[in-house]
Chains A and B, each alone.
Chain A
Amino acid sequence: MFLKRILRSVPVIRDASLRSNDFSRNKQILSAKARTQCQYSTQITPKEEPSEVKPTEHEHNAKLSAEITKQLMQFFDEKDNWGAQRVRVGRAWKKEELRIKSSTDLHKLWYVLLKEKNMLFTMEHECKAEMRVLPNPDRIDKVLESMYNLEEVVRERNKAYHLLETGETGERPFKIVFNKLGLRSFYKLWEHIVPKELHEKWKNHIFSYSHNETKNFLKLYREKLWVKKRRSKLQERRYIFQLFKRFPNVDKEYLKELYPDQDIEKLRQSKLTASHLQQKAN
């Protein structure tokens, strides 16, 4: 079965480069106004043209607000689902299903999912304010999972391109370094305009630690870890004794798999595994 989720309309984000054009046009208008130095210059010029009937202000407003409410209602669920006990939906998109889709399809799907996410967040907020339960809150997790999977697929494709063209993954690089306390830590590199040699702050930076200063700390820290490990091992041992006591026919091979640190055969020989029930029977 393939029970997928996405939604009705398929929105496409408009050309991002339009932004710059809009900006330049506005600039021109502004400059024209500044030159004439007259605020109402545009109102003087229009000639009388009988062909078009201009809508009244009231009509114009009604049309505008109808359009805007239609768009804003995308932030809410369908009317049938308001106050519903349950909204049954399918599962999230899987990676293997997204891999066979073209980039433009993925791009469209992203915005569908984004709108759905916003809708669910709005409904959740409203339900909370009204002291009510959101029907099927697992829908949020399904959308988030789909979005995560989609992003991973896009990343895979880009990685493949970069590896082919440049020999690098194209991701943000990282390395494992020692911090001041002498512990290993995960360090994500940062992007800079100037090279390290010319950067005053970074020029003399070294990832290292002084052995003399951290010696004592590291000793105690390792001891703490070791004590923790030993304690959990002892707890495991005690638990296995109880298992043998209560279930004498327990699957030993499986226990060996579950607790690889323990010597199961040796534990089985211990006196502590003897059941008081068995003693009674004897």
Chain B
Amino acid sequence: MRLFPNLNSYRNYKRFVGELTKKYGNFPESFLRRRIRQIEFKTPRGFPQYQPRTIERQNFYFGQHRPWTDEFRNQNSISSKTRIIHVEPIRDWSFFKGDRVEILEGKDKGKQGIVNQVVQERNWVYVEGLNCKLKNENKTKKSLGIYYQDEQPLLVTRDVALVDPSDLQPVSVEWRYTEEGEKVRVSKRTGRIIPIPLQAEETLDYKTRGTYVENKEKDTGEDEVLTITYEPKLKTFEMEIMEAMGIVEDRIPKKTYWY
């Protein structure tokens, strides 16, 4: 949780929910906001007898779980309390899913791995199979239960560094523009471009953009969308529709006054 993460206002929602999170969910904005907010009661809008008031949860905790999941909702249940968590503001985010990174601190220091999950709200990154904790579930007197390795988050600013593809050494990166005007990550030491991996494109609906399968009954095809049928005419929408339907209307509306 950052300072004033009161997501009830649209401005704060835009600022505090990470861009990558929104991209991964691939939901319309209104849906994601609806999903995050926990409105207890809202006065009916558009009537003069009601003040515009809503009673809802003010502060939210952001952790491993994505904001549209039920786990997120449970974490932010009515009884749970939040405390202020300080997060360093970062201007240009440079860690994506599928990136090769080296761990700089902790028990797996010096090892390299591939980024599994990004939590932009907390500056966290999960690396596949590294920085794990041994966890146990369902342990009883009769059975040992299940043991498993659980990946722990790593702070982007302190614990990990991107790996230069030319010499496989950790580097700090910079965002620059190519001559074509593309924005790319460049290693500060060698000046080599570090390409953004394909896995970063993944959303809940598809792995990569090319592999999305169209819903034939509900989706409109690309060709149909791109065909231009608009012809500019000196007519309003209503006049054009009336012409197409053959409705003739000669009566002239009488004058009215606005005040």
Contacts and interface: CB of A to CB of B under 8 A. Distances in A.
B55 interface: no
A104 B231 CA distance: 11
Contact of B226 (A2, A107, A202, A247): A2
A158 B86 contact: no
A191 B258 contact: yes
Interface in A134-187: 137-138, 140-142, 144-145, 154, 157-158, 161-162, 164-165, 173
Given A104-B241, A157-B237, A192-B258, A90 B219 contact: yes
A249 B157 CA distance: 10
Contacts of A17: 247
Interface residues of B, number: 51
A101 B86 contact: no
A254 B157 CA distance: 15
B220 A5 contact: yes
Contacts of A164: 234
A164 B258 CA distance: 21
B230 A99 contact: yes
A5 B218 contact: yes
Interface string B1-25: 0011000000000000000000000
A145 B86 CA distance: 35
A31 interface: no
| Interface of chain B, main secondary structure | loop
A249 B158 CA distance: 10
Contacts of A142: 28
Nearest to A239: B3
Given A3-B214, A107-B241, A144 B219 contact: no
Contact of B257 (A141, A154, A195): A195
Contact of B256 (A145, A192, A243): A192
Interface string A243-264: 1001101110011001000000
Given A235-B3, A239-B3, A101 B229 contact: yes
Given A141-B30, A192-B258, A101 B215 contact: no
B218 A190 contact: no
Interface in B195-245: 205, 209-210, 212-215, 217-222, 224-231, 234-238, 240-241, 244-245
Contacts of A246: 86, 88
B128 to A, nearest CB: 26
Contacts of A145: 28, 30
A161 B236 contact: yes
Interface of B: 3-4, 26-28, 30-31, 34, 84, 86, 88-91, 157, 205, 209-210, 212-215, 217-222, 224-231, 234-238, 240-241, 244-247, 256-259
28 contacts: A1-B210, A2-B225, A3-B212, A3-B214, A4-B225, A6-B218, A6-B220, A15-B246, A87-B215, A90-B220, A100-B226, A101-B229, A103-B237, A105-B229, A107-B237, A138-B28, A138-B31, A141-B27, A141-B34, A162-B236, A192-B258, A194-B257, A239-B84, A242-B86, A243-B89, A247-B86, A251-B90, A255-B89
